[in-house]
Structure 1
Amino acid sequence: MEFNQVVSNRREITSFSNRPIPSEVLDSIVEVAILAPTGNNLPSREFIVVQERKMLDHLSEATPYVKWLKESQAAIVITGRPNISKYWLQDGSISSGYIWLSAVNEGVGCAFGAILNTTDNEESEQREGYVRDALTIPKDRRILAILGLGYVKENPKKKQMIPKNELVHYETFE
């Protein structure tokens, strides 16, 4: 698929079919995640690929907003390493975009579930703790997000996009 078509086709998919994702497709998505850039090329983010049904169901309870993991066929958990780079959050965020676009290119649906809450430390600690305990993630890692993956069961309605002139400014903000 051509890149602009991949970007145009990107939608958040929260309704997945029972069709398994072939290992070569999942491996391809993970390879693209690894290729995502990081500040100073430091290993500031890591990925945990989850395919076990029991664990996906368990992770669906991490926040009220990731219930769709109960239908997903796989998930990629993105962790960050603040002790490696002060840009771990940006690096992990960039990799999530790469994962999502790679999934679209492979014909796989993707949903983004934020675990890190930058405005509520208590909630973030609770969410991260839940995922950390489930996946035995070391305490020096932060948990940015869980991306659910699976083949589309039901296509979402087309969203009305905000007009470009409301989002893009040239030379100055005004």
Structure 2
Amino acid sequence: MKKMWLILTALVGMLTVASCQRTTGDVSSSDTEAVLQNILQRKSVRSYRSDMPVEKEKVENLLRAGMAAPSGKDKRPWEFIVVDERELLDSLAAHLPYAKMLTSAPMAIVVCGDETKSDYWYLDCSAAAENMLLAAEAQGLGAVWTATYPYRERMEVVSRFLHTPSQIKSLCVIPVGYPMGGQEPKDKWDESRIHYNKWK
């Protein structure tokens, strides 16, 4: 449990004197390695154990991780809709072309932004969504980003079924659950994409 919390707090930018009650210089190499491994092990999970609901505590951890994301001018335009009603999950699956896995997921988190708070809500909300994906991995959960933004028809599906106000725009639907297994992380390291000081 202690290791999981170290991973979560570091992932959401809270591994500081205030959050961990220790100085940055005291961060052990094993803590650093655990955090980096969690990032590298993150994978897109598309099949879930429908017999295993996600515990309330873990759901809250995901939401806390999301809300710890960086935000331009600290506007925090994000809003999160936790969906765990089977009928709603199935309806979203039926109408969102790349979210069919919602039929087996016990829940989902819909990441939305309030466009009246920021013109760049989708950037802040993207950071929040990534934090939640990493927090899911750290807790032994599976998750996957299924985009609604910038596709108007997908955003309208979310709005119709979840009754969102007009200023609330959905970025993505994140199915969450315990993975069926078999998924492996991809090695995306590509040294050719790295440039130092100048484009060469």
Partners of 1:56 and 1:94 in 2: how far apart? 24
Give the secondary-structure state (helix, strand or coil) at the position aligned to 1:145: strand
Q: Which amino acid aligns with 1:145?
A: C
Shift of 1:125: 2.0
- Say yes or no: does 1:171 pair with 2:197: yes
1:91 maps to 2:124? yes
Q: TM-score, normalized by length of structure 1?
A: 0.90
Q: Which residue, out of 43, 52, 61, partners 1:11?
A: 43
The AA in structure 2 aligned to 1:172 is K
Aligned to 1:101, the other structure's residue is in SS state helix
1:146 partner SS: strand
1:37 aligns with 2:70: yes
Q: Say if 2:46 and 2:143, in contact at 8 Å, map to a contact too.
A: yes
How far the C-alpha of 1:44 sits from its partner, in A, is 1.0
C-alpha offsets along residues 50-79 of structure 1, whole Å, 9 cap, x if unaligned?
111111111112321110111111111011
1:129 is displaced (CA, Å) by: 1.0
Counterpart mapping for 1:67-78 below 5 A: 67-78=100-111
Q: Distance in 1 between matches of 2:46 and 2:107?
A: 12
Identity of aligned pairs, percent? Answer: 28
Structure with the larger RCO, 1 or 2 (CA within 8 Å, 6+ apart):
1
Aligned equivalent of 1:130, options 144, 148, 157: 157
TM-score by length of 2: 0.79
Equivalent residue, structure 2, for 1:152: 179
CA contact (8 A) 2:41 2:185 kept: no
Partner Cα separation in structure 1 for residue 106 and residue 140 of structure 2? 13
Shift of 1:157: 4.2
1:139 to 147, 152, 166: 166
The RMSD of aligned alpha carbons is 1.4
Q: Quote the offset at 1:21 in angstroms.
A: 0.7
- The structure having more radius of gyration, on CA atoms, is 2
Give the superposition deviation at 1:169: 1.3
Give the number of the structure whose residues are more often helix, by fraction.
2
CA distance in 1, matches of 2:154, 2:81: 16
Deviation at 1:168, TM superposition (A): 1.4
Q: Does 1:21 align with 2:49?
A: no
The alignment partner of 1:61 has SS state of: helix
> What is the alpha-carbon distance in structure 2 between the residues aligned to residue 158 and residue 126 of structure 1?
31
**C-alpha distance 158-78 of structure 1, shift in aligned 2 (>3 A):** closer
* Runs of 4+ more than 3 Å apart: none
- Do the aligned partners of 2:115 and 2:167 also contact (CA within 8 Å) in 1? yes
Amino acid across the alignment from 2:99: V
d(CA) in 1 for partners of 2:45, 2:189:
23
Match of 2:98, SS?
coil
2:139 is equivalent to residue 113 of structure 1: no
